[in-house]
Amino acid sequence: MAKKTTRRTSYSRKSQPIRSVFSKMIRFIVFSFLLLILFAAVYHYRNGLAYYLGFKSSKVLDEDAVDKHLSDVRNIQVLENHKGKVIGIDVSEFQGKVEWDEVEILEEKYPVQFVFVRATAGNDRVDKQFKKNWEGAKEHKIIRGAYHYYRPNENSIEQANLFIKTVKLQKGDLPPVLDIERLPKNQPLDSLKKGLKRWLTKVEAHYQVRPIIYTGERYYADFLKEEFGEYLFWIANYNFYREKIEDDWLFWQFTEKASLPGIKHRVDVNIYNGDIEQLQFITVD
């Protein structure tokens, strides 16, 4: 028994250096792999990181300057990926009072050339800032459009009537937009779709232009893409990994956390899938 014990101890002592070396090799490989991923990420987001770290800013930032967040790294990357496309924003009362004479350039480089303004919500609510935003955009020669926030559990015709009563489209304005983000609580999905179609049909008949539908990418894929294929879509997707617009999206809302002079709160930014001439082509005659 003593000899057996000695042999086991000897084998254990010999294997310990091998295990230690093997363990160090594994740690080195894992560390090198993670370091490689980090370098690749830094290189990929170099434009956004340069902005975030202040290397490209020509302004001296002080306490009153608009703060920058890590989300700006992706925002810059997305904007750089869409040179030649048209950049715009969308606003509502949640942005507070917008100083339209200051709303010109995003991130010191990208002109804001269009804006969607929330006009109404449900069958009884007019956005508190709609009139000021609607007139402000027009006065400062920003292509404007109006949208309605649809409430699934309220009458669709009443919602359409409220939008029509509130929004007076003029030549050069973008088509009306139906914003649908939620599922109904007390009705089947088929009833929701019927309500959406009633709203769209009534609004199209009034303005003589087919509305655009705004929704999230998952909502679009799961509920709207097949049955509403004749409509153009404005899609929201803020995922960090998505950096390019899909071919079948008319607009892409890629962030809700951008900073813009003239707007105190964070604001949504959108990309139009075309150039300025193509954007003007879809406006109301």
Measured distance between the N- and C-terminal CA atoms of the chain, rounded to whole angstroms: 100
Which residue bears the tokens 């071919």? 247
For the chain, give the longest Cα–Cα distance: 100
**Rounded to the nearest 5°, which phi and psi values hold at 34?**
-65, -40
- Coil, strand or helix: which one is 54? coil
The two tokens of residue 159 are 């919602």
Asked if 181 is an active-site residue, the reply is: yes
Q: Which of 90, 127, 173, 217 is catalytic?
A: 90
Asked if 275 is an active-site residue, the reply is: no
Q: How many CB atoms lie within 10 A of CB 136?
A: 22
Q: Which of 181, 222, 227, 256 is catalytic?
A: 181
Residue 30 region by backbone torsions, left for phi larger than 0, else alpha for psi between -120 and 50, else beta:
alpha
**Rounded to the nearest 5°, which phi and psi values hold at 266?**
-60, 150
**Rounded to the nearest 5°, which phi and psi values hold at 212?**
-100, 145
Q: Which residues are catalytic?
A: 90, 181
